[in-house]
Chain A
Amino acid sequence: MRRLFHRFGTAFLAMPLVVKVAVLWLIFIVVAAIYSRLDRLFGQALPLQDPFYQPFLFGEARPVEGPSSAHYLGTDVLSRDNLARLLHGGWVSLIVAATVVSFGLVFGGFIGAFVGYTRGKVETVTMAALDVILAFPPLVLLLALVAVYKVRNLTMIALVFGVLGIPTYVRIARASTLGVAGREFVQAAEAIGTKRTTILFREIIPNIMPALFAYALINAGYVIVIEGTLSYLGLSVQIPEPTWGNMINEGRRDIRQTILPIFWPGLFLTTSVVSLNLVGDWLQQRVAVRSSAL
């Protein structure tokens, strides 16, 4: 654990300033999203407002307030607290992105490495099947799939995104595996009679992970955008549960009264995607340099 922290620390210091800021911003968003969920878990014991509470119904506040000490980021037309809704919305984006990335790294990484290393008919069939899924425009396939399910809660949405995300990871894992499988250390392991399963897990998979991980960061940004888009269309997690996308959708309707319920989620959406792209690009360049130096 201490070694891990140390490695992260060294890597962090090596980053250019912009990438450092991006990493800190991402950490902040993740912590804030988890904080909002802990708050709900403990029955709103932490200092954060209830994202569903509409105080104007009880004469406690007026709708559409600007930022104040009671509501740091103002309130929307139903006088709900923008900050609380923003952080709860961040949780949805976080969960969907984390699901896609972990499904992609675990299943996509394994399937890609497996078919890339064993080759043969299994590879041909798998890749052909994936090509069909990748032949669709991503948003349209997602729309058709989401239309199928009546239940649109976070678990369901995260699962649909997670499964649909796998094919690209398989492609990248397979391509990297094809590059790794011919290298000397794999040949050496084969020559001394190491079992193929062991080679797959000990030699191939650890070597394709850096490239896959760099892709995962950029992919996470893409997933957040697509989830936001789907939410905006009202086809992701349903209102009143706040997501960045459906906050923007509701805010679009009330745009003449207040811009804040669009501005905050829009800002968080864009900056988190920019940050993920910056970190991902930086990592990708490093990975490329490292593998070309070998």
Chain B
Amino acid sequence: MFGKVLAVRTVRLIATLFAVSLLTFLLVEQLPGDPILAILPPGGLDDLENIERIRKELRLDDPVLTRYFRWVGNALQGDLGKSYITDQQVSDAIKDRIPVTMELALLATLIAAVLAIPIGALSAYREGGYFDRAMSAFTTAALSIPGFLAGIFFIWLFTLKFNWLPSTGWNRITDKGLLANLQTAILPAAALALAPLAVNARLIRADMIGTLKEDYILSAKAKGLRDRYILMRHALRPSSLTAITVFALQLGGLIGGTVVIETVFALPGLGTRLISGIYQRDVMMIQGITLFIATVYVVVNALVDLLYAALDPRIRRQ
């Protein structure tokens, strides 16, 4: 039963990845301006023989589809080509930058999950009370503030006003240790965490309001157990399953969301490399990083889908 679901989903995943890679390739292929112009030194345009030689070398004259299949074939072997501008291997650039992006996304997911549980649980505990209403206002605001604006606000507050934390830059764990690393990571991660935090808190609240109406909660109260104990032990447990799946789902979205946050804090992540690639019209870099981010996003979403199916038999039957 589950094996069949797995097979269908895998085929669909491969088809989606194929289409996504084709779209990425064709999109960036439309970039105005011959890539040759970016490679040649100033004044190199007069040397027609040289231009021909480079064209041959990079095989830019092949038909579009031939080049697409060559690109994808190489990509499957981990080779995304070489930047025409900086001569760097795209896969090296990704390997170099991905730890920063991954750490940000994971840290943000962690912050969002850890803070959302008490906020959601306490809101549900006294539905419509002061805390609930205050938190409802907070989640509405958190969902509406663009991430980059929250980032700038944090910089203004914690760097310019209080001078507690550095505003930009990144300390690698391997160089400076965990504490120095967290000093540079905490502000961007917090800015990134705002939106998923609000979503999680709302979700847990809604879920717990339902759970708190169950009979076994009433019987726990009748037994004379303390409210806090009931809330954390009896009510939170059944709600945590949904929460965990949603946390996983957010990880995919966060990988796209780090792009702008990295720029705000000038962090050496994948997003800033993509943006600088766009400024430099670095075709290979844009194609490679877009394909990479889209692939991660698609795969994470497919895994979450599968997780849902594994947990909830109703979805399996569809």
Contact = CB atoms under 8 A, between A and B. Distances in A.
B187 interface: no
A46 interface: no
Contact of B28 (A148, A248, A262, A278): A148
B255 interface: yes
Interface stretch (B84-92, B93-101, B109-117, B146-154): B146-154
Contacts of B290: 140-141, 143-144
B144 A255 contact: no
Contact of A137 (B32, B141, B149, B253): B253
B255 A137 contact: yes
Nearest to A146: B278
A277 interface: yes
Contacts of A15: none
Interface stretch (A48-56, A221-229, A283-291): A221-229
Interface in A230-278: 232-233, 235, 248, 252, 255-256, 259, 262, 266, 269-270, 273-274, 277-278
Contact of B23 (A132, A138, A255, A259): A132
Given A135-B16, A137-B253, A147-B28, A252 B260 contact: no
How many interface residues does chain B have, given as a range? 35 or more
A141 B144 CA distance: 22
Contacts of A150: 32
B28 A255 contact: no
A274 B146 CA distance: 11
A248 B148 contact: yes
A131 interface: yes
A136 interface: yes
Interface string B277-309: 010010000100010011001100100000000
Contacts of B141: 270, 274
A137 B298 CA distance: 9
Contacts, number: 114
Given A232-B260, A255-B160, A277 B140 contact: yes
Where chain B touches its partner, the secondary structure class is: helix
Contact of B260 (A138, A139, A266, A273): A139
A259 B278 contact: no
B274 A143 contact: yes
Nearest to A234: B279
A273 B149 CA distance: 13
A136 B23 CA distance: 10
B259 A140 contact: yes
Contacts of B146: 225, 228-229, 232, 269-270, 273
A27 interface: no
A273 B152 contact: no
Nearest to B153: A266
Nearest to B292: A140
B152 A270 contact: no
A213 to B, nearest CB: 20
A141 B256 CA distance: 10
Contact of B20 (A135, A146, A221, A278): A135
A248 B149 CA distance: 8
Interface in B1-46: 16, 19-20, 23-24, 27-28, 30-32
A147 B286 contact: yes
Contact of A144 (B24, B160, B255): B24
Interface in A194-227: 221, 225
Interface of B: 16, 19-20, 23-24, 27-28, 30-32, 140-141, 143-149, 152-153, 155-156, 160, 252-253, 255-257, 259-260, 263-264, 274-275, 278, 281, 286, 290, 293-294, 297-298, 301
15 contacts: A133-B23, A139-B256, A140-B290, A141-B294, A143-B274, A144-B27, A144-B286, A147-B281, A148-B31, A228-B149, A248-B152, A259-B156, A266-B149, A266-B152, A266-B153
Given A132-B16, A229-B148, 14 more contacts: A135-B301, A136-B294, A136-B297, A140-B259, A140-B290, A140-B293, A141-B294, A143-B275, A143-B278, A144-B290, A147-B278, A148-B31, A233-B263, A266-B153
